[in-house]
């Protein structure tokens, strides 16, 4: 069998290297005002706000130039795509032919010289070393001998990055005003508090995108497996920067009441309408491939609308004394315009409308397209976020209990012991032509904490549980229309504590506190699966973390 931990068993052929950088910049500014007339018994509020948020994402990519130097023969000139590129083999053979070199884009270039890969195949074993079961890279040596720093410094901007983010800018300006009436009155022996109001908000979004299109000076690309007689003369893609504006406004009313049935029993009810703007990443136009085979891609949608939720809440609270209380709350959310993933399959040649052609692909992607029959035959799955025409109804029931146990245990010298607990169940139902699904919402969750706080000791042990749920929306996954991703049930226990040594042992107040925390006490694993329970998609073993520290003030 092949030893995967032996550097001598590895070759460049079939590999690739990448130098990719992503810069993000976010700027915010805003102003607001509030006016109030009246007192606690009856008051009227009025206010407004203006906010500006801008976010820029600029990926940089110099992968092809670095790959040509490190393992592609190290040519003395860079001929960008759509000109053919040398394969990453680390050998001094099989370089692409450039029959049109010296004309078109390369007119005036010096004679083409293959200088030899900076890290040839014969030296590759010196740049990797055995690891914990699999080889690891000697990154310091690779970066030094391949001139990585210079390639990273001079990387040009690109359409997407290795994180999956696309080049884009979003400027969002919001203007809003609200009015609110608040009151606190007695109805017989019962106290009633109420609040009624409405908010108007206008959103103005400008979305900028980077579109790459074939240079019109280039002749059509050759048929698959045919030589490119214009190789070496082809011009790189023409990059266009465009902006699209969207403006919408919403009225968002709300009302809530709280009735003291008794001094320690309160009934609460609320009605409201809320608005959630679409994910900025989904707004960015342009196409981005999520696989090196150019068979799965995502497409932005600048026309996404916000989704609106009509909410009903009803709650009951019983206060047991001190900080103790027991509460039950029921809620319903009716959501329209919820965004879902829509997947379509189409021939690769149809992607020209988005500025993607065979000539704009990397050599790896071109080879994958050829293996699937060529641009007119190879199919591509495109996923795009759209507003679902249906309505999503989410019903929930939540129980809360906070209870110190001093009233039971103080006689036994156990003052300071207590617990908190929460249990929530969720049911959701989609209606309409394309029912929406709120992904990542567990049907059942609970958390509980047992605590002790007294005599300088603070200790808590807690558990959190989430039932497995669907984590991707309808529309398919990884090019399979009916497949989705799901998570397993997950429960985690944690422990935290602090010991005030000065109080415990009568030391000086200068003595620090000792803290001991244990995260993931029972070493649980997190796992997701691809449609079927036995098809593991990801498995994450965070391990158990023990933190011991000292905390003090001087």
Q: What is the CA radius of gyration of the chain?
A: 31
Strand 296-299 vs strand 379-387: parallel, antiparallel, or unpaired? parallel
Task: Give me the residue spans of the domains in the chain.
Answer: 62-153, 180-387, 407-554
**What pLDDT was estimated at residue 260?**
95
Closest residue by Cα to residue 231 from 104, 363, 376, 361? 104
Low pLDDT (below 50) residues in the chain: none
- The model's pLDDT over 81-118, given as tens digits with 9 standing for 90+, comes to 888 888 899 988 778 889 999 999 999 999 999 999 99
- Contact 179/197 with Cβ under 8 angstroms? yes
- The model's pLDDT over 421-480, given as tens digits with 9 standing for 90+, comes to 999 999 988 887 555 677 888 999 999 999 999 888 999 999 999 999 988 776 667 767
Q: Pseudo-torsion of CA 260, 263, 264, 265, nearest 10°?
A: -30
Q: Pseudo-torsion of CA 331, 257, 319, 461, nearest 10°?
A: 40
**What pLDDT was estimated at residue 525?**
94
**What pLDDT was estimated at residue 71?**
93
| DSSP class per residue in 392-424 | EEEEEEEEEEEEE-HHHHGGGT-TTEEEEEEEE
Cis ω for the linkage preceding 475 (within 30 of 0): no
Q: What are phi and psi of 508, to 5 degrees?
A: -65, 150
Cβ-proximal residues to 265 (8 Å cutoff; 6+ apart), any chain: 316, 317, 318, 319
148 sits in which H/E element: helix 148-153
421-437 residues labelled b (16+ CB within 10 A) or e (exposed): bbebebebebeeeebbb
Alpha-carbon span 148 to 65, nearest angstrom: 10
């Amino acid at each position: 069998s092949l030893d995967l931990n032996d550097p001598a068993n590895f070759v460049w052929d079939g590999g690739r290297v990448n130098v990719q950088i992503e810069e993000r910049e976010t700027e915010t500014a805003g102003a607001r005002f509030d006016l109030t007339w009246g007192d606690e018994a009856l008051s009227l509020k009025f206010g407004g706000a203006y906010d500006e948020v801008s976010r820029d994402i600029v990926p940089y990519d110099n992968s092809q130039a670095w790959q040509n130097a490190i393992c592609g023969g190290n040519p003395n000139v860079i001929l960008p795509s759509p000109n053919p590129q040398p394969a990453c083999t680390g050998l001094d053979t099989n370089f692409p032919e450039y029959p049109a070199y010296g004309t078109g884009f390369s007119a005036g270039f010096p004679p083409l010289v293959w200088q030899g890969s900076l890290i040839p195949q014969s030296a590759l074993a010196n740049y990797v070393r055995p690891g914990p079961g699999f080889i690891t890279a000697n990154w310091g040596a690779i970066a030094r001998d391949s001139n990585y720093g210079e390639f990273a410094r001079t990387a040009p901007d690109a359409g997407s990055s290795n994180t999956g983010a696309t080049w884009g800018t979003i400027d969002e300006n919001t203007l809003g005003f609200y009015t609110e009436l608040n009151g606190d009155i007695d109805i017989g022996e019962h106290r009633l508090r109420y609040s009624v109001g409405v908010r108007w908000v206008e959103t103005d979004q400008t979305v900028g995108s980077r579109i790459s299109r074939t240079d019109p000076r280039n002749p059509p690309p050759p048929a698959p497996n045919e030589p490119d007689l214009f190789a070496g003369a082809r011009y790189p893609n023409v990059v266009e920067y465009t902006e699209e504006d969207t403006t919408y406004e919403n009225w968002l009313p709300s009302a809530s009441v709280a009735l003291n049935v008794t001094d320690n029993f309160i009934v609460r009810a609320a009605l409201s309408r809320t608005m959630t703007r679409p994910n900025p990443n989904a707004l960015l136009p342009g196409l981005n491939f999520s696989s090196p085979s150019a068979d799965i891609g995502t497409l932005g949608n600048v026309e996404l609308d916000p989704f609106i939720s009509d909410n009903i809440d009803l709650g009951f609270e019983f206060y047991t004394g001190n900080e103790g209380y027991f509460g039950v709350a029921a809620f319903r959310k009716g959501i329209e315009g919820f965004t879902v993933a829509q997947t379509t399959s189409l021939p690769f040649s149809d992607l020209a409308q988005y500025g993607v052609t065979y000539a704009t692909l990397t050599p790896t992607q071109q080879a994958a397209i050829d293996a699937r029959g060529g641009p007119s035959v190879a199919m591509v799955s495109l996923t795009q976020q759209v507003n679902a025409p249906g309505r999503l109804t989410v019903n929930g029931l939540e129980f809360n209990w906070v209870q110190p146990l001093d009233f039971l245990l103080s006689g036994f010298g156990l003052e300071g012991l207590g617990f908190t607990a929460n249990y929530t169940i969720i049911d959701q139902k989609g209606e309409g032509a394309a029912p929406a699904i709120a992904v990542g919402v567990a049907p059942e969750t609970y958390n509980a904490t047992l605590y002790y706080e007294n005599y300088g000791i603070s200790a808590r042990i807690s558990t959190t549980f989430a039932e497995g749920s669907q984590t991707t929306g309808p529309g398919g996954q990884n090019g399979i229309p009916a497949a989705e991703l799901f998570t397993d049930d997950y429960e985690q226990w944690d422990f935290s504590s602090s010991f005030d040594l000065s109080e415990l042992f009568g030391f000086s107040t200068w003595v620090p506190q000792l803290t001991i925390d244990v995260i993931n006490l029972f070493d649980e694993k997190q796992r997701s699966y691809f449609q079927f329970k036995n098809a593991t998609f990801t498995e994450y073993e965070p391990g158990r973390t023990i933190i011991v520290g000292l905390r003090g003030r001087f």
